[in-house]
């Protein structure tokens, strides 16, 4: 569950990141609003340190951004001095960090608003549930800057949008607004201005109440099944289903439902 007030998380972060814990939820904020939360190396490596250092009792993470925008993407001021081998290792560094987010220990809910562009969209796409305020808009300005996505966007974004929509965004500079982003799967929730963090915390609170094993299966097994051939996928599903239902916590929860001690599914 989320606590209303935060307390400190014992992890060393750069000034461009701020973190706190609210009960079982860790909240990390991109805190470089003067540069529109552009992602420089210290920030991306700081995200790695944050996820590496999550205390064992944290059960979900919320990611959000300070100021008018979620993130303006890659810090473009870093590019001018980088040669080709350095460019490859920089992109591989982003892959490593974003993989730790996607395939980490706990689910991550992102609250987005304003610009969610370039590497900022790649970062959000590595997280598991995305809430968009109505101000959110999405762009891949790499095309017009003469560069290319490098934070896993070519892999993750076509799975959300489709290859041809990503091509259109990169070739023509097309942007999508928050409502379109919801329809396309760039976000899962659309929410009024200023409400994104509260909604993300509410969702993270629900996630934190799931069993760790179910959250693990959803984060690590489901996407692998989705990438598999159907026969392997069905087999993996059967194995995971059997493992999950064999867990004592699952048995206790099923028993609670049968004894009418657990909430029913409610549609509001
Ligand atoms: C930056 C960056 C940045 C802002 N790197 N410094 N991303 C882009 O191509 C997006 C570039 N940014 C923008 O288009 C705009 O800044 C925004 C639409 C996001 C916001 O506009 P605005 O009017 O609120 O802010 P601003 O006046 O443009 O920027 C404020 C400051 O932030 C300014 O610095 P200042 O010292 O003059 O105050 C900007 O230079 C700075 N700033 N965005 C560095 N991105 C792993 S590969 C991923 C590849 C990509 O991500 S490509 C996409 C890059």
Nearest to 187 by CA among 120, 97, 135, 111: 111
Tell me, yes or no, if 122 is annotated catalytic. yes
Whether the Cβ atoms of residue 73 and residue 67 lie closer than 8 Å to each other: no
pTM given for the model: 0.96
Ligand 1 in reach of 149 Cβ (< 6 A): yes
Q: What pLDDT sits at residue 5?
A: 66
Taking only the tens place, the pLDDT of each residue in 170-188 is 999 999 999 999 999 999 9
CA of 35 to the centre of ligand 1 (A): 6
Q: What pLDDT sits at residue 268?
A: 79
Taking only the tens place, the pLDDT of each residue in 117-146 is 999 999 999 999 999 999 999 999 998 999
In angstroms, the CA 23 to CA 29 distance is: 17
Which is more confident, 110 or 3? Answer: 110
Q: Residue whose CA is closest, atom 10 of ligand 1?
A: 72
Q: What pLDDT sits at residue 259?
A: 94
Is the pLDDT assigned to residue 79 strictly greater than 90? Answer: no
Mutation to probe ligand 1, out of 36, 38, 44 (largest number of atoms < 8 A from CB): 36
Q: All domains of the chain, ordered by start, with CATH?
A: 7-208 (3.90.226.10), 212-258 (1.10.12.10)
User: What is the share, in percent, of the chain residues with pLDDT greater than 70?
Assistant: 98
Tell me, yes or no, if 142 is annotated catalytic. yes
Taking only the tens place, the pLDDT of each residue in 43-73 is 999 999 999 999 999 999 999 999 999 999 9
Q: Residue whose CA is closest, atom 19 of ligand 1?
A: 72
């Amino acid at each position: 569950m989320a606590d209303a007030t935060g307390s400190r998380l014992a992890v060393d972060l750069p000034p461009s990141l701020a973190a706190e814990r609210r009960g079982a939820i860790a909240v990390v904020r991109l805190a470089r609003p003067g540069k529109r939360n552009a992602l420089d190396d210290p920030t991306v490596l700081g995200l790695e340190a944050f996820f590496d250092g999550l205390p064992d009792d944290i059960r979900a993470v919320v990611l959000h951004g300070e100021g008018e925008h979620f993130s303006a993407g890659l810090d473009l001021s870093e590019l001018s001095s980088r040669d080709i081998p350095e460019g490859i290792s920089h992109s591989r560094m982003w892959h490593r960090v974003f993989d730790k987010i996607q395939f980490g220990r706990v689910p991550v809910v992102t609250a987005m608003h304003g610009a969610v562009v370039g590497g900022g969209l790649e970062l959000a796409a590595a997280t598991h549930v995305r809430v968009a305020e109505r101000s959110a808009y999405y762009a891949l300005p790499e095309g017009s800057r003469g560069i290319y996505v490098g934070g896993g966007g070519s892999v993750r974004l076509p799975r959300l949008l489709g290859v041809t929509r990503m091509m259109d965004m990169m070739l023509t500079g097309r942007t999508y607004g928050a409502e379109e982003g919801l329809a396309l799967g760039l976000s899962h929730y659309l929410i009024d201005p200023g409400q994104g963090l509260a909604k993300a915390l509410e969702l993270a609170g629900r996630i934190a109440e799931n069993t760790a094993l179910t959250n693990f299966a959803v984060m690590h097994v489901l996407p692998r099944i989705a990438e598999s051939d159907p026969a392997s996928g069905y087999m993996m599903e059967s194995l995971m289903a059997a493992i999950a239902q064999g867990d004592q916590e699952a048995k206790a929860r099923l028993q609670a439902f049968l004894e009418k001690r657990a909430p029913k599914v409610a549609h509001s």
